[in-house]
Chains A and B, each alone.
Chain A
Amino acid sequence: MPSIAKPAVLHPSAQRNELGLTLRDYEGSMSTLCAGCGHDSVTAAIVRALWELSVEPHKLAKMSGIGCSSKTPAYFVTGAHGFNSAHGRMPPIATGANAANRELLYIGVSGDGDSLSIGLGHLCHAIRRNVRMVYIIENNGVYGLTKGQFSASADVGTKSKKGEANRMAPIDPIQLGLSLGATFLARGFSGDKEQLVPILKAAVAHRGFAIIDVVSPCVTFNDHTGSTKSYLYTRQHRIRATETDYVPPATEILTEISPRGETAVTLHDGSVVRFSAVPADYNPSDRLAVAKFLQENAADGRIVTGLLYVDEATPNIHEMNNTPAKALTSVPWSKLCPGAEMLNALQEEFR
């Protein structure tokens, strides 16, 4: 989102969604990030996706850790609850929140430092628990907020602003996710909103933990020549491996199917992700094949983007724990407290 003040009066032609809300209703307070920061573009894509999906603002919980990226929940959907927590700890906090109230929509925004270093363990376990939420990693290869140190996603050979080269292998959240049984994996680029919006919408509809790794350049500390997370480098090396549409539940599919080999995945709520174009023989449900595809491309220096893997069959945290369909916070007191008579009876065991 641009760091300029918005006009106070709405343009009368502002379009309204099913809830009668305009795009403006999904915006947040003004961004305080650097002008041109990739994260602001991701925010704009989130605003768009949520508006198009007609998400009720107050039924949304925006979760984040600490970092420039983790500040961004303040910049979208002011009418939603937000929780800007502690560095790396958003996954467990979101897990607990989701455990208590599964009826809200959870969107987590994190950074590569937040998720792949200090909070890596938590991320792995949130994947394993298949917590139903959208988990966005705004990946810039550096710690923006602490002024440009390499993060764990920095590629081998990428150079810092001062010219120092990184020698350690990067952690790729998509590869990681594949190996941990993640159920929804996508990679986007902050510079490609058209690709990101449908991915975000599909992630919202997904029944479990949806990871979207978004290459989101840091203009201040990692956009120079020699960086592999700069705008230029990303544009030059990125491929849009898959093309997807998100088709809401009960919508007739009218668009022509692309000749490039298409497939579709029906999501839990009846919506459909239509892969309108995929590489030959690409199967977004074949974990091994996707891993191989990613590794081969990475070896060739290509940054693969698109919705890459979907598994809509694995149960989520609530299904694994056999909890009610409604929020645990709505279970009535009569079902929670066994009462005096029962306490009396059960103490026979302690005689």
Chain B
Amino acid sequence: MEYRVSPRINDFAVKLANVNGTGSASANGLIMQAIFRMGIPVSGKNLFPSNIQGLPTWYEIRVNGDGHVSRALDYDLMVAMNAQTYDRDLKEVRSGGYVLYDSSWPLDDHLLREDIHLIGVPLARMCIESFAEPRERTLMKNIAYAGAMVALLEIDMAIVEALIKESFSRKPALLASNTRALRLGYDYAKEHFACPLPFRLSPMNANADKILIDGNTAIALGCLYAGVTVAAWYPITPATSVMDGFKNLCEKYRKDPETGENNYIILQAEDELAAIGMVIGAMWNGARAFTSTAGPGISLMNELLGLAYYAEIPVVVVDVQRVGPSTGMPTRTQQSDLLECAYASHGDTKHILLLPGNPAECFDFAVKSFDLADRFQTPVFIVSDLDIGMNDWVVPKLDWDDSYRPDRGRVLTHDEIEALPQFHRFLGENGTQIAPRTLPGVHPKGAYFTRGSGHNKFGLYTEIPDEYQEVMDRLLLKHRAAASAVPPALIEERRNAEFGVITVGGCDAAVREAVENLAANGIFADFMRIRAFPFGREVEQFIADHEFCFVVEQNRDSQLKSMLILETAAPKEKLQSVLVYGGFPLSARTVVDEITRQLTRVPQPVSIRKGK
């Protein structure tokens, strides 16, 4: 029997199995970027270990002319470069698919499958023959398999060579060896195999106004453009590249051309408690400041987040979520900090969350977060995740409106303070729930005593129940008022929809695709992606408008669903969870399977049927 995959153009998935620390990342990125430059919708997902060298690591590339680029689970081509994981990697190839492996050594018989095609390229041997240095031999194997892929998938060779030139424009020796290695693989594939494979690329024009960017870099850019001058952080995966990116940008764009001085300061704090403390101090003084961290860091910041909330000090926290309680899986993705961020700290606290679904939103929301923090004088979290933050996504080119000016909220000027008979810090202004603040050093009459201890609306210490509650009640109203200022949920409706599907963050692409695939099977659903907390009215309305809704999220305990139940009038019975929390980016197939299973298995929520 002949096993064949169907011939396809711009619609396939490749998985590359590598060993961490051997230089495969640049080869994989090269392929991804070349496909992007061919104008074809593409995604690249890095599934890497928490390790510097030696452990298995994978990279997945999905190409889809229709723009569906969430993680695919059906691999047409496996580039198997890690003998340790041959076993599992070869099992993952779809029937009729292909395996590109290093044929310098024979494959063990037990690995063979009659329904897949082997493409053996003697990468190690060719590189040993062509390169002298041991390190170079290892590195060039990666470029050589990239060369073979160029031939097999019909990647535009001119584009690949141009990319290599751009990377090594100042290192002629490396340019020469990379070009040579690329050709080695390419020529070998052309000579020994039928190129291209049945699935292949063909140039499109889908990326003219697009860029390829990761969410962490986009957040860093947003912080630069929002006018951040103080940043404080403690290194943690997967948030580290936010601050690395911010530093790079500051070195380029914030060195004063006249004086050579730095119009910024980045403080690598001793821990996350200090990092958030520094941000609080800086924003108390009127700077725009932020910190970037992941779940463990948020845990540590809890006490001071309560201080910022209660003392009404603006703060911006970037949380790039990773997996699990404790150390968990630092290099894997999840959405398990939603509750932690929404209600961070002891006592009665509620925070504003911005929940980007892709790097373009990371940029926009980063800028927005400062306006919201300043306006509402409260902590604002940008809750991203590892998938958005560390993988390159194809998104529309970022836009900037030069007329933008920071919304600093109600900060009293020298003259405004002067005109006041007396300044009281915590008096809400004309029913807005926002109490004008003063900055230190501006005017003698603006001085007040900031404290996290019980205070009344005049800013004075209190232990009197009514006085305490009065301030706390205003804070709650202030939080509610933010619901109309945050980005609204994105809703996509469909004719004949029978139920709703609600999701958040980086699940966006997979859930949208799933909803389309369900529709193709005659199951129609409306789609809503929540983009902020407090929830806008549209969120409650969406749930009210549907008989029931699925809530798709990447955590074990249905955190988004819990928040919807807590914070809207939605009855609990109306919401059904689809939970995927193993640490890899979500795939549409998982969502379709799970929704279908729940639809067929569970008779639709009994209580609702009864109610109607």
Chain A contacts to B: CB under 8 angstroms: 57-59, 61, 73-74, 78-86, 89, 91-101, 103-104, 121-122, 124-125, 129, 317-318, 321-324, 327-329, 331, 333, 335-340, 342-344, 347, 350-351
Give 9 new A-B contacts, CB below 8 A, not counting A79-B444, A340-B400, A350-B217. Answer: A83-B449, A85-B307, A86-B303, A99-B281, A333-B406, A336-B229, A338-B253, A340-B399, A351-B211
- B541-569 contacts to A, CB under 8 A, are none
Asked, given contacts A92-B269, A100-B285, whether A328 binds B230 with beta carbons under 8 Å apart, the answer is: yes
B2 interface residue, CB < 8 Å from A? no
A-B contacts, 7 of them at CB < 8 A, read A95-B281, A96-B282, A96-B283, A97-B284, A122-B273, A324-B259, A338-B253
Chain B 277-305, CB-CB to A under 8 Å as 1, else 0, gives 11111111111010000000000000110
Give the distance in Å from the alpha carbon of A106 to the alpha carbon of B398 in the complex.
Answer: 41
CB pair B447–A79 under 8 Å, yes or no, is yes
- Nearest Cβ on chain A to B457's Cβ, whole angstroms: 18
Residues of B contacting A337 in the complex (Cβ-Cβ under 8 angstroms) = 224-227, 404
CB pair B270–A324 under 8 Å, yes or no, is no
B274 interface residue, CB < 8 Å from A? yes
CB pair A96–B441 under 8 Å, yes or no, is no
- Nearest Cβ on chain B to A169's Cβ, whole angstroms: 23
B97 interface residue, CB < 8 Å from A? no
Residues of B contacting A58 in the complex (Cβ-Cβ under 8 angstroms) = 440-444, 446-447
Residues of B contacting A336 in the complex (Cβ-Cβ under 8 angstroms) = 227, 229, 254, 263
Give the distance in Å from the alpha carbon of A74 to the alpha carbon of B450 in the complex.
Answer: 10
Give the distance in Å from the alpha carbon of A96 to the alpha carbon of B452 in the complex.
Answer: 17
B109 interface residue, CB < 8 Å from A? no
CB pair B402–A81 under 8 Å, yes or no, is no
Residues of B contacting A350 in the complex (Cβ-Cβ under 8 angstroms) = 211-213, 217
Residue of A nearest to B450 (CB): A83
Give the distance in Å from the alpha carbon of A318 to the alpha carbon of B277 in the complex.
Answer: 18
Residues of B contacting A80 in the complex (Cβ-Cβ under 8 angstroms) = 447
Give the distance in Å from the alpha carbon of A129 to the alpha carbon of B400 in the complex.
Answer: 36
Give the distance in Å from the alpha carbon of A122 to the alpha carbon of B225 in the complex.
Answer: 30
- Nearest Cβ on chain B to A97's Cβ, whole angstroms: 4
Give the distance in Å from the alpha carbon of A13 to the alpha carbon of B402 in the complex.
Answer: 59
Residue of B nearest to A95 (CB): B278
Give the distance in Å from the alpha carbon of A148 to the alpha carbon of B280 in the complex.
Answer: 31
Give the distance in Å from the alpha carbon of A96 to the alpha carbon of B276 in the complex.
Answer: 9
- Nearest Cβ on chain A to B302's Cβ, whole angstroms: 11
CB pair A97–B262 under 8 Å, yes or no, is no
CB pair A96–B280 under 8 Å, yes or no, is yes
Give the distance in Å from the alpha carbon of A82 to the alpha carbon of B284 in the complex.
Answer: 11
CB pair B397–A347 under 8 Å, yes or no, is yes
- Nearest Cβ on chain A to B253's Cβ, whole angstroms: 5
CB pair A328–B441 under 8 Å, yes or no, is no
Give the distance in Å from the alpha carbon of A335 to the alpha carbon of B250 in the complex.
Answer: 11
Give the distance in Å from the alpha carbon of A125 to the alpha carbon of B404 in the complex.
Answer: 37
- Nearest Cβ on chain A to B399's Cβ, whole angstroms: 8
CB pair B448–A81 under 8 Å, yes or no, is yes
Asked, given contacts A99-B265, A338-B253, whether A343 binds B400 with beta carbons under 8 Å apart, the answer is: yes
Say which residue of A84, A100, A124, A335 sits within 8 Å of B289 (CB atoms).
Answer: A100
- Nearest Cβ on chain A to B379's Cβ, whole angstroms: 14
Residue of A nearest to B303 (CB): A86
CB pair A96–B278 under 8 Å, yes or no, is yes
Chain B 426-444, CB-CB to A under 8 Å as 1, else 0, gives 0000000000000111111
Give the distance in Å from the alpha carbon of A344 to the alpha carbon of B221 in the complex.
Answer: 12
Give the distance in Å from the alpha carbon of A129 to the alpha carbon of B274 in the complex.
Answer: 13
CB pair B274–A81 under 8 Å, yes or no, is no
CB pair B447–A78 under 8 Å, yes or no, is yes
Asked, given contacts A58-B447, A104-B440, A350-B211, whether A92 binds B281 with beta carbons under 8 Å apart, the answer is: yes
- Nearest Cβ on chain A to B401's Cβ, whole angstroms: 7
B267 interface residue, CB < 8 Å from A? yes
Task: Pick from A58, A59, A86, A328 the residue with the most CB of B within 10 Å.
Answer: A328
CB pair A81–B447 under 8 Å, yes or no, is yes
CB pair B37–A351 under 8 Å, yes or no, is yes
B573 interface residue, CB < 8 Å from A? no
Residue of B nearest to A28 (CB): B449
A-B contact count (CB 8 A): 211
- Nearest Cβ on chain B to A31's Cβ, whole angstroms: 13
Task: Pick from A322, A339, A342 the residue with the most CB of B within 10 Å.
Answer: A322
Give the distance in Å from the alpha carbon of A82 to the alpha carbon of B452 in the complex.
Answer: 12
CB pair B269–A125 under 8 Å, yes or no, is yes
B612 interface residue, CB < 8 Å from A? no
CB pair B37–A339 under 8 Å, yes or no, is no
- Nearest Cβ on chain A to B284's Cβ, whole angstroms: 6
Residues of B contacting A74 in the complex (Cβ-Cβ under 8 angstroms) = 449, 461
Residues of B contacting A104 in the complex (Cβ-Cβ under 8 angstroms) = 285, 440-441
Say which residue of B304, B399, B402 sits within 8 Å of A89 (CB atoms).
Answer: B304
Residues of A contacting B402 in the complex (Cβ-Cβ under 8 angstroms) = 339-340
Residues of B contacting A322 in the complex (Cβ-Cβ under 8 angstroms) = 260-262
Asked, given contacts A121-B270, A329-B287, A339-B400, whether A57 binds B281 with beta carbons under 8 Å apart, the answer is: no
- Nearest Cβ on chain B to A313's Cβ, whole angstroms: 21
CB pair B285–A97 under 8 Å, yes or no, is yes
5 interchain residue pairs of minimum CB distance: A96-B281, A92-B277, A96-B278, A100-B287, A97-B281
B451 interface residue, CB < 8 Å from A? yes
CB pair A95–B267 under 8 Å, yes or no, is yes
Give the distance in Å from the alpha carbon of A96 to the alpha carbon of B227 in the complex.
Answer: 16
CB pair A93–B224 under 8 Å, yes or no, is no
Say which residue of B212, B406, B440 sits within 8 Å of A81 (CB atoms).
Answer: B440
Residues of B contacting A323 in the complex (Cβ-Cβ under 8 angstroms) = 261-265
CB pair A347–B229 under 8 Å, yes or no, is no
B88 interface residue, CB < 8 Å from A? no
CB pair A84–B280 under 8 Å, yes or no, is no
B504 interface residue, CB < 8 Å from A? no
Give the distance in Å from the alpha carbon of A343 to the alpha carbon of B261 in the complex.
Answer: 22
CB pair A331–B229 under 8 Å, yes or no, is yes
Residues of B contacting A89 in the complex (Cβ-Cβ under 8 angstroms) = 273-274, 277, 303-304
Residue of B nearest to A58 (CB): B444
- Nearest Cβ on chain A to B222's Cβ, whole angstroms: 11
CB pair B265–A321 under 8 Å, yes or no, is yes
B271 interface residue, CB < 8 Å from A? yes
Residue of B nearest to A348 (CB): B211
- Nearest Cβ on chain B to A162's Cβ, whole angstroms: 29
Give the distance in Å from the alpha carbon of A337 to the alpha carbon of B400 in the complex.
Answer: 10
Residues of B contacting A318 in the complex (Cβ-Cβ under 8 angstroms) = 265
Residues of B contacting A86 in the complex (Cβ-Cβ under 8 angstroms) = 303-304, 307, 452
Residues of A contacting B444 in the complex (Cβ-Cβ under 8 angstroms) = 57-58, 79
Say which residue of A85, A92, A100, A333 sits within 8 Å of B274 (CB atoms).
Answer: A92
Give the distance in Å from the alpha carbon of A96 to the alpha carbon of B304 in the complex.
Answer: 13
B275 interface residue, CB < 8 Å from A? yes
Residues of A contacting B266 in the complex (Cβ-Cβ under 8 angstroms) = 321
CB pair B261–A324 under 8 Å, yes or no, is yes
Residues of B contacting A103 in the complex (Cβ-Cβ under 8 angstroms) = 441
Residue of B nearest to A94 (CB): B281
Say which residue of B213, B221, B263, B451 sits within 8 Å of A328 (CB atoms).
Answer: B263
Residues of A contacting B50 in the complex (Cβ-Cβ under 8 angstroms) = none
- Nearest Cβ on chain B to A40's Cβ, whole angstroms: 17
Give the distance in Å from the alpha carbon of A92 to the alpha carbon of B221 in the complex.
Answer: 25
CB pair A340–B401 under 8 Å, yes or no, is yes
Give the distance in Å from the alpha carbon of A317 to the alpha carbon of B441 in the complex.
Answer: 20
Residues of A contacting B269 in the complex (Cβ-Cβ under 8 angstroms) = 92, 125
Give the distance in Å from the alpha carbon of A323 to the alpha carbon of B212 in the complex.
Answer: 33
B453 interface residue, CB < 8 Å from A? yes
Residues of B contacting A93 in the complex (Cβ-Cβ under 8 angstroms) = 277-278, 280-281, 284
CB pair A351–B212 under 8 Å, yes or no, is yes
Residues of B contacting A85 in the complex (Cβ-Cβ under 8 angstroms) = 277, 280, 304, 307, 450, 452
Residues of A contacting B230 in the complex (Cβ-Cβ under 8 angstroms) = 96, 99-100, 328
Asked, given contacts A101-B440, A336-B229, whether A95 binds B277 with beta carbons under 8 Å apart, the answer is: yes
B597 interface residue, CB < 8 Å from A? no
Say which residue of B226, B280, B398, B406 sits within 8 Å of A347 (CB atoms).
Answer: B398
